[in-house]
Structure 1
Amino acid sequence: MTVPTDEPPSGRDRLRELLDAVLDEDSTRLADMADRAHSSPFHFSRRLSRDTGESPVALRRRVLLERAAWQIGQGSSVTDAAFAAGYESVEGFIRAFTRAFGHPPGATTAGSGRWLPAPNGVHFHPPIHLWVEGNPRSRPAMDLTALQIHHDVDDTALLIRLAAELPEEDYRKVWSPGRTVLTWDGPEESIAATLEHLVRSKEVWLASIEGSDFPARGFDDPASLMSRHEEAGARWIAAVDDMGRRDAWGDRLIDALCDPPESFLLGGVVAHVLTYAAHRRQAVRHMLRSSGVEVGHGDPLEWLQNRNERRGDTP
């Protein structure tokens, strides 16, 4: 990796040299970094920590995790990304990735955010460069919004898969007569109706956020719902990540799809979707159990612990 610079070829950018030493593919240890920078490990670590607010080892680990997230989003396997980032085991990489990003590597999409908290604004920039934020902002070590968004999308997919195993009669059976979550959505008395509203909620809000036409209602059989969910889920993750990256939670959306048009804070939209998605997922669980289907609690703690094995991210 190299750091783009506007310095003339004859000039010497010492910070760039130090960063290049940290991120060289062969600089796996502090001693390796210092040797490349023609410095002692003590003075090398002291200078870089002073200039960047981050130790050489921590900076390298963070930037390589950012690169791994980008690689996975581009289609790389978790195993390949783990070893490219210098981890000796895939399990260790998955634990480090999940702690850093708030979701396991298997939940990474092409639109997912790939920048971690940095006191210096230095980040990985594809394909092989760094990006330095002009005004870096401190971000939490675990992004709780990202965790909830990924959990909601993944848990919804699980419920649709379980519903697909039901007989059609049970899938469309009225288990909760008269149950209505939001009056403008209408009744949600069956597994089919509740799952459809769960998916459609994201489709409608995405149309408002993206400024597109009101979406036509798709089919509600499990196969169609899964296809709709995969498409809307990926866009929803990307949209919320963009809000977080721009700190746009207080931006106001003028929703022309409402009649008359209304305005909403983006943070409020995300909270709205998460609130009713959680309610609907638990309602589907109750109806699945009534149909004789074994289904877990939908607990984010269990999801973080079990999702890697379920998705085959461990070797």
Structure 2
Amino acid sequence: MRYSKLARALTLLGSALPLAAMAADPVMIDFSEGGVEGNLGTSTVMDAATGTSALGLYLDPNDNLWKPANLYRRDQTGDEGLGVCNPLEAADNGGDCPGPGGGGDINELSNQLAPEFIYLKRPEHWRWVSVYLSSLDGNDGAEFPETGQIWSDTDGNPNNGGLVLLAEFTGNDDNVEQVLDIAALGAADAPFLVLRPVDIAPDGTDTNNDFLVKAAVIEEKPKEPPMGGQGCTPGYWKQPHHFDSWVMYGPHDTFYMAFGSDLFGMDKTLLQVLSQGGGKEYAMGRHAVAALLNALSDGVSYKYSKEEVIAAVQGAHSGSYNHVKNAFEYQNEMGCPLN
């Protein structure tokens, strides 16, 4: 279902979205491709490579609840993508919606006999770039062109409410394929996008609205940088003008209170341990205090947690002081992001 056809110049409300402007390595899922046209006999299709899926729904008038409806695929020039064949439409047409070569809004996303939705679901760790529409025309020059809406949702169930309207779009007879810039609409991270036709014109006229959901473009979210790439030195933390960067503990709190260790007695402060000279346990103490403050700071991406720093100090002995000091020193000198 990857998009392989010649890209067209698609616009929404007069603004172009060139493919070159998209984020690096976007993936386009073309719902019009797949080898089968007509009623798919299922309410859900999924792109195997990415996990992006489309779900057809209709509003059952018997209980006013949204329920699954079969998706309908068309792949003809100007009419490409997914529509919905709900049970009421099928029953009204001898058991199935008309074939791909006809049927108009009956086999497209429409409000024939019952309102219809198509839900798009993105995979985790991906975000939306754009959605392509097809068969969205100007109703052959009628006063009101075909009109639709795109919404976002958080749980994939319209019966729970919570849908947020993102935009309304209209068609024209000159270009029946359009693209919706989802990033520009502020919904790149929305778990679900919802497409629907709107059949009531501003003056209350019931219009003939139907269109197809042709494709979706997604891209992988940037990966979070690994923890452990930052650290501030003992020299940074002992400067008075940096005391405002201390978290949880202050310069005059004791080493014993912070670490639960009497290595330096009961009364020596964190600032005193930071400022003392000497090697072995004294050098370890300097870097242990810096490591603790780095671990506590939200502004520092530090390799070790507060608990790991404290455990290392409590477990240190005369034969391991240098080993613990070296581990902390390496991280403390990774580069300080604080002012």
Give the shorter-chain TM-score range: under 0.3
TM-score, normalised on structure 1?
Answer: 0.20
What is the TM-score normalised by the length of structure 2? 0.19
